[in-house]
C-alpha cells in the first residue's frame, strides 16, 4: 500500500505534512519557519482536532527519523523538491575512479560550472550537511545535489570524470 502524504502551507508558521496510517490514525509533522518541528497526533474522532502536540529538538527529530529508517536531511530536501518548481534533488555516488577522490569539494567548481549545489555528503551512515569547500571526498561518498535537471547531470558528469587531465 502506498502512503499518501498531504502537505499544507501554514502562512506565517511553516509547512505541515500529514498522513493517515493503515489503522486510520492521522499524524503529522509541523515544520516551523524558525526550524522548530512538532510531531502532531490527531483525535481519531475529529481529524481536525489535535490530540497531542510533541515539540522535537533537532536531535530528537534526527533520532526519530533514524528510527523510522530515513535521514532527516533527505526528508527535508524531498519536501523542498515538492515546494520548488523545477528544483530537483539527487543522490550521486562518487566512484572509486573519480578524479575527485581525496580532493576537496571546491576543486570540482560544481556550483560555478553547473549552477547546482552540493548540499550534503553521506559517508558511512553519517550526514555532513552543508560541506565546506575544503571537505575531502572519499570513494563511495554519496553527494546530495540540488538544482535543475541539467545542473544535476552536470555534477554527475564532473564527479564521474576519471581523466586526471580534466
pLDDT tens digits, 101-131: 999 999 999 999 999 999 999 998 888 888 9
Residue 2's pLDDT is what? 67
> What string of DSSP letters covers 5-46?
EEEEEETTTEEEEEEE-TTS-EEEEEEETTS-EEEEEEETTE
List residues bridging with 38 in a β-sheet.
Answer: 30, 55
* Residues 147 and 87: beta-carbon distance below 8 Å: yes
Task: Answer yes or no: are the C-beta atoms of 152 and 90 closer than 8 Å.
Answer: yes
* pLDDT for the residue numbered 84: 62
In which band, very low, low, confident or very high, does the pLDDT at 158 lie, cut at 50, 70 and 90?
Answer: very high
Round to whole Å and give the CA distance between 102 and 122.
15
The residue with greater pLDDT, 61 or 135, is: 135
Q: Are 80 and 146 in contact (CB under 8 A)?
A: yes
Beta bridge mates, 155: none
**pLDDT of 46:** 82
> Where are the strands (E) in the chain, listed by range?
5-10, 14-20, 26-32, 37-43, 46-56, 88-93, 117-123, 126-129, 142-147
Q: Could you tell me the pTM of the whole model?
A: 0.50
Amino acid at each position: 500500500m502506498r502512503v499518501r502524504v498531504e502537505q499544507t502551507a501554514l502562512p506565517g508558521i511553516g509547512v505541515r505534512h500529514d498522513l493517515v496510517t493503515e489503522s486510520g490514525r492521522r499524524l503529522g509533522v509541523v515544520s516551523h519557519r524558525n526550524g522548530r518541528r512538532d510531531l502532531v497526533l490527531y483525535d481519531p474522532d475529529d481529524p481536525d482536532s489535535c490530540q497531542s502536540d510533541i515539540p522535537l529538538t533537532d536531535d530528537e527529530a534526527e533520532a526519530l527519523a533514524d528510527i523510522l529508517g530515513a535521514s532527516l536531511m533527505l526528508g527535508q530536501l524531498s519536501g523542498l523538491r515538492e515546494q520548488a518548481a523545477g528544483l530537483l534533488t539527487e543522490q550521486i555516488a562518487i566512484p572509486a575512479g573519480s578524479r575527485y577522490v581525496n580532493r576537496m569539494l571546491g576543486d570540482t567548481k560544481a556550483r560555478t560550472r553547473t549552477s547546482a549545489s552540493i548540499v550534503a555528503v553521506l559517508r558511512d551512515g553519517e550526514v555532513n550537511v552543508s560541506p565546506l569547500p575544503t571537505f575531502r571526498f572519499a570513494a563511495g561518498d554519496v553527494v546530495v545535489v540540488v538544482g535543475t535537471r541539467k545542473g544535476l547531470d552536470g555534477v554527475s558528469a564532473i564527479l564521474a570524470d576519471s581523466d586526471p587531465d580534466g
